[in-house]
Amino acid sequence: MKVAVYPGTFDPVTLGHLDIIRRSAHLVDKLVIGVTTNPSKEPMFSVAERLAMVKRETADMPGSIDVIEFDSLLMDFAEAQGATAILRGLRAVADFEYEFQMAGMNQQLNDDIETVFLMADVSLQPIASKLVKEIARYGGSIDKFVTAAVAEDVRRHLKANS
């Protein structure tokens, strides 16, 4: 069975993330979405909230999709899941430079697990969780970048913390 891991913070999960998830699920027998916390980022949502969001947004997608929290080296997590690939979405050249470096480091840790890059759909390439949060914090509409349910999650979070 071909298992791939798609890791990320998903804070919040965007239409770009969901596009990569939908397309990735067709490429493998099982897709494991690894929800983690990046120490260099300040998340808006807790890990539990992000897990719930991603589970809700992927519940009706075709394919075998698991959503799991992890707080370890990505390669250790991938090995534990029996993965043969790490899936990463790319939006722009700047993403590629960072992801290329990470892929090289990960290959040094375990060269049995391949890194596979998927280009985001052209219409979704500008979307970044960081920008979605910034737009929302300043009262802008994020409806073009996330599902209606996620937009409501963001509004509710901002209202509760204002």
- Catalytically annotated residues: 17, 41, 91, 129
Residues linked to residue 152 through DSSP beta bridges, in sequence order: none
Task: Please calculate the CA angle 11-16-18 and round it to the nearest 5 degrees.
Answer: 80
Q: Identify the DSSP state of 143.
A: T
Task: Please calculate the CA angle 112-117-119 and round it to the nearest 5 degrees.
Answer: 170
Q: How far apart are CA 3 and CA 8, in angstroms?
A: 17
Phi, psi at residue 85, to the nearest 5°?
A: -150, 150
